[in-house]
Structure 1
Amino acid sequence: MSTAAAPLPVTWAPRRTRAVLLPMCAVLVTVFTVMAFALPANWHLNDRVAMVVSGLLFAGVALMLARPRVSADADGVTVVNFVRSRRLAWAEIVRVNFRAGDPWVTLDLADGTALAAVGIQAGGGRERAIAAARTLRDLVEQRHAG
């Protein structure tokens, strides 16, 4: 356990993933919209609308993939994954796990369950993810000791 407390609030998110996905959303909507207007004249309006809606749906999926983050503040931790988010008090977190080969951090909870914390993931750089996991682990241990 480190002796210095990490500054709060702190948020971890896969920045590279977001840097790729967010511009891709704009590109998807733009490309599908341009394609809808560039379709031959024999295509109907509903076909053109379907093209635009398809672009919006693909962009929506990409936005969901860009959502994950883990935020810690004085009261606890908020884990935002692809579809769901969950607020945890410090006392609810028993252990922070990030084993070799794991794609992301897993939190062991006091109720006996585990929660994936996808916001801290190896995909954005293994060393960076290890440092974030250690910081979160230290915060949990400090809150349990205090």
Structure 2
Amino acid sequence: MTEPTSERAGEFQFRPRKVRYVAAVIAVLFVAVFTVVAFLLRSEWTGAYFQTSDQVAMVGIGLVLAVGVLMFTRSRVRADAAGIEVRNLLGTRRYEWKHVEHVSFPDGASWARLELPDDEYVTIMAIPAIDGERSVVAMRELRRLKASAEQ
């Protein structure tokens, strides 16, 4: 099993593994299927007139869907003694440990999360349940960093 990485002393970084593999396969499938459909549009008479622009649009739709699926590979969590940085699908946000109440993985949840004040939480998509033991190691390290920051 590969351990989560440390870029520099005292910093922890983690990215999902299985999610990246699955997303890459799905993205390739989207592009392949939509490309095949694009070539088949003009192969026989269907009662509609398909132009080259329709074929290009079909490939474009496949590419857009592939990029959408690949957005799931962006997720990352970085933590150090001062705080934690969570990057999910669309944005990155940093939280100081004093603003984080708990780092949890609720029963049945797909991802870990940061528990914030006032019953708010932030999903940590970088730590998915599907990664099994790797996610357990990541959660232990995040909890250790939080505990050391509270001392």
TM-score by length of 2: 0.76
- Contact kept? 2:81, 2:148, Cα under 8 Å: no
Match of 1:130 among 104, 113, 136: 136
Range moving further from structure 2, 20-29 or 113-122: 20-29
Query: Which residue identity is paired with 2:73?
Result: A
Q: Percent identity?
A: 37
Match of 1:15 among 17, 21, 29: 17
Structure 1: gaps spanning 5 or more residues: 1-5
How far does residue 75 in structure 1 lie from its aligned partner after superposition?
Answer: 4.2
* Structure 2 CA distance for aligned equivalents of residues 131 and 99 of structure 1: 16
User: How many residues were matched structurally?
Assistant: 139
* SS of alignment partner, residue 101 of structure 2: strand
Runs ≥4 residues deviating over 4 A: none
How far does residue 124 in structure 1 lie from its aligned partner after superposition?
Answer: 1.6
TM-score by length of 1: 0.78
Structure 2: gaps spanning 5 or more residues: 1-5, 44-48
- Contact kept? 1:98, 1:130, Cα under 8 Å: no
Question: Is residue 59 of structure 1 aligned with residue 61 of structure 2?
Answer: no
Please name the residue that 1:40 is paired with.
Answer: 42
How far does residue 94 in structure 1 lie from its aligned partner after superposition?
Answer: 2.0
Range moving further from structure 2, 104-113 or 61-70: 104-113
For residues 22 and 118 of structure 1, do their structure 2 counterparts lie closer, same or farther at Cα, with a shift above 3 Å needed?
A: same
How far does residue 74 in structure 1 lie from its aligned partner after superposition?
Answer: 4.9
Please name the residue that 1:50 is paired with.
Answer: 57
